[in-house]
Homo-oligomer: A and B are copies of this chain.
Amino acid sequence: MEAKLQVGVLGFGTVGSGVIHILEEHQEKISQVTGYHISVKKVLVRNLEKNRRYETKGFELTTNPSDVLDDPEIAVVVEVMGSITTAREYILQALKAGKHVVTANKDLIALHGDELVAVAQANKCDLFYEASVAGGIPILRTIVNSLAADKIQKVMGIVNGTTNFMLTKMTTEKKSYEEVLAEAQELGFAESDPTNDVDGIDAARKMVIMTRLAFGMNVDLDNVETNGIRGISPEDIEVAYQLGYKIKLVGTAEETNGMVNVNVGPVLLPKAHPLAGVNYENNAVFVTGAAVGETMFYGPGAGELPTATSVVSDLITVAKNSRLGTNGNAFNSYKHETKHTPKEQVFSKYYLRLTMDDKTGTFLKLTQIFAEAGVGFDKILQQPYDDFTATVVIVTHSTSQAQLEQAIARVTDEPEMQMLAKYSVVEG
């Protein structure tokens, strides 16, 4: 008879439902691949009476976490309840009881991943979290296994579906930020408080997780310069398009000389760049390796079934490890001392948009400020904004972040100039 692997699920939202659905639907293939009949024994819910999307037969619903965490027959706990404090507590309890854990909780892994990994190892348990970054795209396992042979130089990700949906709509339908936000909220792509998405916080957490795996470095969220999409105007999108670019919210982690820089912000991508073609709620991660060159992994970044697929692929790995007796080996063993690239050594081209009083001498002053900071211009467009004001768009040559900030600080000091937008520009 086939061995059984029993699972306890914490949370019965969309991802939890998806996991249960996939385990049932793909039972035959899963048991052929793992040699286990993987089944859900108990599901922790907040409310026993709520209507469920799928039938709740074959397993038990409970509102008491101990029913799951203290059940000796449950070998694996799947945490898909979200939140940080409670989820951390339950996961620690599960690991200490010798249960393997699969989680989709990016916030938790970004903030407490190191602690949880250490506890998992101390208890010889598996801890996997593929679903925490880019939903259905198996990017974490790809970085850890398939790109292990290579020296990864740069990871660029469109890892937030909500903002990518909004920017795609702004670009293709020429709508305003406010209009597309309302649309995204209506469709359920954005929450009523969209802060985490639109301010880039969600993307920053995912970049922290990828940085740990790709470069072996632990970067604090505080050290990730994070800008969102609130400030992007239809004008920026229009001008960028005319210059040959699309604007996307991109998280970038780049290593230079053993130091890493991680940031999230709007980026101008050449239209032919593979990331520029990633539209609507899709995600993609573009990885540059010293040997492999440029690769990209594309797919749905969220959604019930895509995210659940990643959770179940982690469950399959737990099952394979159980069969081989190899549970408890760290998912990622690549570690490096964490060092941050100083601003003087972080280089990029930039797109800048500002307005200034349309009077003799102001343009000269602007060019002097940039010249004195050592920031050269690649392109510059000036056009009247109204009778008294001109809009100026600048694309700089590659410059250090320190130099750019120096120039911008001086522009900000000038009462006749207003800086409206500052985005990185990626070259083809």
CB <8 Å contact, B313 and A293: no
Judge if A129 is at the interface, Cβ distance under 8 Å: no
Contacts of A350 in B (CB 8 A): none
Interface string of A286-308 (1 = CB under 8 A from B): 00011111111111100101101
Interface size class of A (residues with CB under 8 A): 35 or more
Minimal beta-carbon separation of A135 from chain B (angstroms) = 8
Stretch at the interface among A29-37, A65-73, A118-126, A386-394: A29-37
Contacts of A313 in B (CB 8 A): 145-150
Report if A148-B300 is in contact (Cβ < 8 Å); known contacts: A274-B277, A308-B291, A324-B326: no
Contacts of A329 in B (CB 8 A): 324
Interface string of A337-353 (1 = CB under 8 A from B): 00000000000000000
Minimal beta-carbon separation of A126 from chain B (angstroms) = 13
Contact of A147 among B138, B150, B315, B333 (CB under 8 A): B138
Smallest CB gap from A329: residue in B: B324
Judge if A201 is at the interface, Cβ distance under 8 Å: no
Task: Please measure, in the bound complex, the distance between the C-alpha atom of A303 and the C-alpha atom of B326, giving whole angstroms.
Answer: 35
Interface string of A375-400 (1 = CB under 8 A from B): 00000000000000000000000000
Report if A29-B296 is in contact (Cβ < 8 Å); known contacts: A142-B138, A291-B309, A317-B145: no
CB <8 Å contact, B136 and A309: no
Minimal beta-carbon separation of A212 from chain B (angstroms) = 14
CB <8 Å contact, A299 and B296: yes
Contact of A300 among B279, B295, B311 (CB under 8 A): B295
Task: Please measure, in the bound complex, the distance between the C-alpha atom of A313 and the C-alpha atom of B299, giving whole angstroms.
Answer: 23
Judge if A25 is at the interface, Cβ distance under 8 Å: yes
Interface residues of A in 25-66 (CB under 8 A from B): 25-26, 29-30, 32-33
Interface residues of A in 121-156 (CB under 8 A from B): 130, 136-138, 141-142, 145-151
Contact of A33 among B130, B290, B333 (CB under 8 A): B333
CB <8 Å contact, B305 and A291: yes
Interface string of A265-297 (1 = CB under 8 A from B): 000000010100101000000000111111111
CB <8 Å contact, B150 and A146: no
CB <8 Å contact, A149 and B326: no
Judge if A316 is at the interface, Cβ distance under 8 Å: yes
- Interface residues in chain A, defined as those with a beta carbon under 8 Å from any beta carbon in chain B: 18, 22, 25-26, 29-30, 32-33, 130, 136-138, 141-142, 145-151, 272, 274, 277, 279, 289-300, 303, 305-306, 308-313, 315-317, 324, 326, 329, 333-335
Q: Which 6 pairs of residues, A with B, have the shortest CB-CB distance?
A: A138-B146, A295-B299, A149-B312, A291-B305, A136-B292, A296-B298
Q: Can you offer 11 A-B residue contacts whose CB atoms are under 8 A? A: A26-B290, A29-B148, A136-B291, A137-B295, A141-B142, A147-B313, A150-B312, A291-B308, A292-B299, A293-B299, A295-B300
A-B contacts besides A25-B151, A30-B149, A293-B305, 18 pairs, CB < 8 Å: A18-B291, A22-B149, A22-B291, A29-B148, A32-B333, A137-B295, A138-B142, A147-B313, A148-B313, A149-B316, A272-B279, A274-B277, A291-B305, A292-B300, A295-B299, A295-B300, A296-B297, A297-B298
